[in-house]
Amino acid sequence: MKIKSFHIQCVAVPLTTPIKTASGTVGVSPLVLLTVKTDDGLEGSSIVFTYTPSMLRPVADIIGKLESMVAGAPLDPSSIAQQLQSRFKLLGTHGMLGMAIAGVDMALWDAYARFHDEPLHRLLRGKPKKIPAYGCVGLDGAASGAQQAAAAVAMGMRGVKVKVGYPGVEEDLAVIRAVREVVGTERALMVDYNQCLEPAEAGRRLEALSGERLEWIEEPVFAHDFRALASLACRTAHPLQAGENWWSAHEFAAAGALGATRRFMADVMKCGGVTGWLEVDAIASAMGLPLSSHLWPEVSAQLMFASGACGTEGSWLEYVDWWNPINETPLQLQDGFAVASELPGAGIVLNKRAVQMYQA
């Protein structure tokens, strides 16, 4: 069976509740939808999130350029990933090109799992395990934060992550404590600075947060400043979390070697798709670091069920429903834990009517 063609569509899906972060407000999901078709009629799908609508067409165009490089090749996701990484070694596979390659990789793995009539986690020799999910609270102040946390608790989430990075640490603390009042001590509470602090200020704020019993503190400084992260990791009682903005397994290995963080978080679109995630998982397992997911709950849950670094203490699935309107098989939760899908594929079945409705 060989790859025949790509079908690419662009959509903009409004969020039910826009989420504000230190890096800006996300009110709509600009998505490139890819369907890979094989010569015997098999299909595999993926979703690429471009964060900002202005990048929709450029990313779609890049994915389109990759079609000629893989058309006619056997349906072998790992080999094609290696081929594309080698092809662009001089240019580098970060940014939009990395997102495009990951989108192709995810669609190929979806098709490959469908070919074998298996859910992706079983194809990868995984099995269901306890993967707790957490919900997110935006940078909207204490009152709104408490309301959003209450909604997450009502959904049964095992944890809540609150966005911080207000003008002063006093505001950070006020929001954290308001959310803690809602989630109590039986649920985990994480905080995320979205890279907004300079190292010196990060040191001061992390010290002020030392008594808040946090599951982790995420990206207090620039995600690629591994030395600053390592310095902060030695000075805080809470584990630091990072990885959602790292573009390859090499970056995870480099950060881990420097002690930049005690937790890894992988974004399947940024770290190289399914193939890249498997490489990151091997590194996390070797280093004894728990691995959590960023976005992509359907695909991420499949990978976490097959992961050696997930299912242990400190490993969490980030749950968002942003793309549910266009996915016929969104991830299900039970008592705040991810439910393993038994449908063939990676968990993405595009709703054609919704895709038409949200075309961009």
Question: Which is nearest to 223 in space by CA: 193, 191, 253, 189?
Answer: 193
Nearest one of 165, 162, 156, 170 to 189, comparing CA atoms: 162
Dist. CA 328–CA 347, nearest whole Å: 9
Q: What residues are annotated to the active site? A: 163, 294
Tell me how many degrees the CA angle 221-319-192 measures, rounded to the nearest 5. 15
DSSP 309: S
Question: By the 8 A CB rule, do 112 and 145 touch?
Answer: no
Give SS3 for 240: strand
Q: What span, in angstroms and rounded, lies between the C-alpha atoms of 18 and 33?
A: 21
Angular region, 105: left φ>0, alpha ψ -120 to 50, beta rest: alpha
